């Protein structure tokens, strides 16, 4: 059990059958009246964010959200298969659970599979990945002077905007959180 007076950023707890994570909290002690805790909560399964105030003595059961490193193997239709590197157990995860940034993940990459009581509700790809450009318009000498971009298709099928000097076959470092090109990989 955790009391509202012990709330900190990142703490997860159960309330009204939902699993909530504290995004922000503030202990408020007004001049008149009792102290209270003002919070911004995120439902870890649906992603909804709400603001709520609590009495510091309110108690809630702690929710243990498991974050496990697993290797992405392959997909078969709408099912994506991940393997636990310790037990070699494979689990299928439905396409609906995967976020948009999963388009930057290729086979055999490590991802974080996030579950609560054995039920997977999210998959986090690595923050940075290195992918090869499979298709883009050719670059020309002198194209580095301007800050313009062109579309490029990566080996996973994802499309991003890249500077004009990038060519087919280049290996790029991509930020999966924003989907942006960072640099050419060495």
In angstroms, rounded to a whole number, what is the distance separating the alpha carbons of residues 25 and 40? 6
Predicted pLDDT at 71:
93
Could you give the 3-state DSSP secondary structure of residue 147? Answer: coil
Q: 32-36, 94-98, 173-177: which range is least confident on average?
A: 94-98
Beta bridge partners of 55: none
- Tell me the pLDDT tens digit for each residue of 69-89: 999 999 888 899 999 999 999
Tell me the per-residue pLDDT of 52-71, one tens digit each, with 9 for 90 and over. Answer: 999 889 999 988 888 899 99
pLDDT for 119-173, tens place per residue?
888 888 888 999 999 988 886 665 555 678 888 999 988 899 988 888 888 899 9
Work out the average pLDDT over 91-109: 87
Average pLDDT of the residues of the chain: 86
Q: What is the pLDDT of residue 81?
A: 92
pLDDT at site 145: 59
The single-letter DSSP state of residue 180 is E
The answer to whether 81 touches 73, Cβ cutoff 8 Å, is: yes
Q: What domains sit in the chain, N to C, each tagged with a CATH number?
A: 2-60 (2.30.30.30), 65-124 (2.40.50.140), 128-184 (2.40.50.140)
Q: Is 3 exposed, middle or buried (0-12, 13-18, 19+ CB in 10 A)?
A: middle
């Amino acid at each position: 059990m955790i009391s509202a007076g012990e709330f900190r950023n990142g703490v997860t707890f159960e309330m009204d059958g939902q699993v909530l994570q504290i995004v922000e909290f503030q202990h408020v002690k007004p001049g008149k009246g009792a102290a209270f805790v003002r919070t911004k909560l995120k439902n870890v399964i649906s992603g909804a964010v709400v603001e709520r105030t609590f009495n510091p003595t309110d108690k809630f059961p702690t929710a243990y959200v498991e974050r496990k490193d697993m290797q992405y193997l392959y997909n078969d239709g709408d099912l994506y298969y991940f393997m636990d590197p310790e037990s070699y157990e494979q689990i299928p995860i439905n396409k609906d659970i995967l976020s948009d940034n999963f388009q930057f993940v290729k086979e055999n990459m490590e991802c974080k599979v996030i579950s609560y009581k054995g039920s997977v509700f999210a998959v986090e790809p690595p923050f940075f990945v290195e992918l090869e450009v499979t298709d883009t318009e050719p670059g020309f000498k002198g194209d580095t002077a301007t800050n313009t971009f062109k579309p490029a298709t990566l080996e996973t099928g994802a499309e991003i905007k890249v500077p004009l000097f990038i060519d087919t076959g280049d290996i790029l470092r991509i930020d999966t959180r924003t989907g942006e090109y960072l640099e050419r990989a060495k």
